[in-house]
Amino acid sequence: MKNYLRLLQYIKPYMRRLGVAVVCIILAAAANLYVPWIIKDMIDEVLAQRDMAMLNVISIGILVVFFFRGIFYYGQSYLVSFVGQRVIIDVRDVLFRKFQRMSLSYYDQRQTGQIMSYITNDVGALQSALVDNLIELVTESSILIGSLTMMVYLDWKLSILTLVTIPMVGQAMKIFGRKLKSSGTLIQERLSDITSLLQESISAVRVVKSFVREIYESQRFHDQNELNFQAAMKNVQLMSLLTPTVEFLAAMAVTVIVWFGGYEVVNGEITAGALVAFLTYSVNLANPVKRISRVYGNIQKAMAAADRVFGVMDLDEVIKDAPGAISLPLTNGHVTFDQVSFEYKKGIPALSQVTLEAKSGQMIAFVGPSGAGKSTIANLIPRFYDVTEGAIRIDGKDIREVTVNSLREQIGIVPQETMLFSTTVRENIRYGRLDATDEEITAAAKDANAHEFIMTLPQGYDTKIGERGMNLSGGQRQRIAIARAILKDPRILILDEATSALDTESEKIVQAALDRLMVGRTSFVIAHRLSTIFDADQIFVIESGQICEHGTHEELLAQGGLYSNLYHIQFSKTSI
């Protein structure tokens, strides 16, 4: 129950409300303990002695008790639900912030749907453990303790005989609890697989339809659903076995009570009313034991989700501020790579001994075959990954010695595949600087050659552009991304094949905006089309994770190496 206790730590800010809720639960449960005593008095005094005064007291007592029980029931339901919902929101917030701090390597190794499942399915599973199960656990525990107390008061000998079955019930719950937790873990994993498949299929809907694979995807989903069904039924099987096992053990106790209690009534040791009350309390004892066993099973299932949630929370954050890290001052943009090597997977180098220098305001270009390591170099500058060997310095400072936020605040990135949010054009541009005014947003859009097309949209800057900006063309999305980068006003700029996916006309418009953006900034350009980097101050040709050539466009052509070969391949195609 370590993680359950850890989960309860999130309740601390709400302990006052929870305390009142527990009092309400106990008082509401106490009403159930009043019923057997009513039965005893009805049999021993009202019916046996024809006592009308006692009948009146009992009648009034029933109304008063159950009136207040209704008030207490409302209090317990509202307050526990309030606390439970607040705790779930807090856990979800903490988990989301954890995901925001995780490095790209974490996301590289996991499916998006799997990550989403932690916040949706797993945190959702915790909700029942904190709300419904908590109410039932406290309620039934109160009835259990109260019933035991009343049973001892009525007949201590019968009570001892009844308590003999409790160790057997506890052992049964322990055995089933282990199996239920294992089953719960499997259910959460299956739900995660379903979420991953669902996210993947919806994201790739155009590919699915273009290859006419709707039936194939439906079958994949059906198969995954079937695995989830099997896992769920295993859990149902265990729960279905636990309840009758506990009920049978409780029935043994009732059997003993009926026989020995009847024997005591015959011998005049207790009254018939006391025996009926004792039997009622024993039923009250059996029902809480049965319900607590079910609650215990549900909590074990929820703890499987808690294990997954806290497992993520406890993961080490690979990219984080070093002890004593300082804020990076406003940089001049002088960037150096000193014998940099990097591995995505241990023993498989992606970069080897890369050394280069980008002076302030220079345009540095990277070219080479796919998979050569160009994007890897770009990803190391903002510390999306940390170098395996060597160092990257900005204005002479190792980027691992400055805070991550202060580093990335001075770096702007325009990727090949622009990611926009499903909000307005204005808010997508403002993402570059959240305190920007509308006038500054408009100025950035004009510099990015985006203002003209934005004004043709139905609501202009307030037009919602749909998920990932799918209501816009590729060139329009790219210009909004450039406007966002302009608004950020970074000292260092990274362009990762920013025009490679565009048609010729869109490329010209976007390239003009990029040229304007690069003025006065240190720029790193990953180029697919060599025509975009003819004016670069330095061009580095990357092959198999190493720099094999570097120089200006003219120098590299004169060398007759890989760059020259790539140039002639591209422009021979163009001439054809």
Asked if 490 contacts 411 with a C-beta cutoff of 8 angstroms, the reply is yes
Provide the CA 356 distance to its chain's centre, in angstroms. Answer: 40
Compute φ and ψ for 526, nearest 5 degrees: -95, 120
Residues 6+ apart with CB under 8 A from 54: 41, 45, 46
3-state secondary structure of 348: strand
CB atoms near residue 552 (< 10 Å): 15
Burial class (CB in 10 A: 0-12, 13-18, 19+), 219: exposed
Please state the rounded mean pLDDT for residues 439-465.
89
pLDDT given at position 41? 67
Fill in the DSSP letter of residue 268: T
The answer for residues whose C-beta is within 8 angstroms of residue 333's C-beta and 6 or more apart is 358, 360, 361, 394, 395, 491, 492, 521, 522
Q: Residue 432's closest CA among 461, 455, 411?
A: 411
Each residue's pLDDT tens digit, 23-35: 888 888 777 777 7
Place of tokens 């999130």: 10
Rounded to whole angstroms, the Cα distance separating 552 from 559 reads 11
8 A C-beta contact, residue 450 and residue 483: yes
**pLDDT tens readout for residues 12-59:** 888 888 889 888 888 887 777 777 767 666 776 666 666 677 777 777
- Strands 389-394 and 397-398, by their bridges, are antiparallel
Q: Residue 237's pLDDT is what?
A: 77
How much is the pLDDT for 10?
83
Question: pLDDT tens digit string along 119-155?
Answer: 887 887 777 666 667 677 777 777 777 777 777 777 7
CA 495 to mean position of chain CA atoms? 31
Instruction: Report the C-alpha gap between 533 and 262 in whole angstroms.
Output: 100
- For 83, counting Cβ atoms within 10 Å of its Cβ (0-12 exposed, 13-18 middle, 19+ buried), the class is buried
State the average pLDDT over residues 430-439: 90
In the sheet where 538-543 sits, what is the strand order?
411-414, 492-496, 522-526, 363-367, 538-543, 546-551
* Sheet of strand 335-345: strand arrangement: 348-358, 335-345, 389-394, 397-398
pLDDT for 74 beyond 90: no
pLDDT at residue 253, rounded to an integer: 67
Give start and end residues of each alpha helix (H) in 356-467: 374-380, 404-408, 425-430, 438-447, 451-455
User: Which residue is listed with tokens 């453990």?
Assistant: 129
574 pLDDT tier (thresholds 50, 70, 90): very low
Contact indicator for 370, 364 with CB cutoff of 8 Å: no
Query: How many angstroms separate the CA atoms of 92 and 83, rounded?
Result: 14
Strand partners, 542: 547
Q: Are 409 and 492 in contact (CB under 8 A)?
A: no
The structure tokens listed for 540 are: 């580095």
Q: Residue 162: pLDDT band by 50, 70, 90 thresholds?
A: low
Domains along the sequence of the chain with CATH:
2-313 (1.20.1560.10), 418-489 (3.40.50.300)
CB 252 within 8 A of CB 165: yes
- Which distant-in-sequence residues (6+ apart) come within 8 Å of 87 by Cβ? 7, 10, 11, 14, 130
Residues 354/546, Cβ–Cβ less than 8 Å: yes
- Judge whether residue 187 has pLDDT over 70: yes
- Distances in Å between the Cα of 111 and the Cα atoms of 107, 153, 260 are 7, 60, 63
Instruction: Report yes or no: 242 and 176 within 8 Å, Cβ to Cβ.
Output: yes
Q: Are strands 546-551 and 538-543 parallel, antiparallel or unpaired?
A: antiparallel
Average pLDDT for 328-345:
90
Q: What is the rounded distance in angstroms from the CA atom of residue 263 to the CA atom of residue 276? A: 13
What is the pLDDT, as a whole number, of residue 248?
Answer: 74
**Ordered DSSP codes for 447-490:** HTT-HHHHHTSTTGGG-B--GGGTTS-HHHHHHHHHHHHHHH--
* Phi and psi at residue 403, to the nearest 5°: -70, 145
Q: Determine contact, residues 239/294, Cβ cutoff 8 Å.
A: yes
- What phi and psi, each to the nearest 5 degrees, are found at residue 115? -65, -40
Tens digit of each residue's pLDDT (9 = 90 or more) over 226-259: 888 888 888 777 777 776 776 677 667 667 767 7
Give the integer Cα–Cα distance in Å for 110 and 94.
20
What would the mean pLDDT of 510-527 be, rounded to a whole number? 84
- What does the pLDDT average to over 473-499? 84
What single string gives the DSSP state of each residue in 247-293? HHHHHHHHHHHHHHHHHHHHTTSS-HHHHHHHHHHHHHHHHHHHHHH
Asked if residue 466 lies in contact with residue 497, where contact means CB atoms within 8 angstroms, the answer is no
Is the Cβ–Cβ distance between 400 and 319 less than 8 Å?
A: no
Secondary structure class of 367 (helix, strand, coil): strand
pTM of the model: 0.73
How does pLDDT run across 353-388, given as a tens digit for each residue?
999 999 999 999 999 888 888 889 999 999 999 999
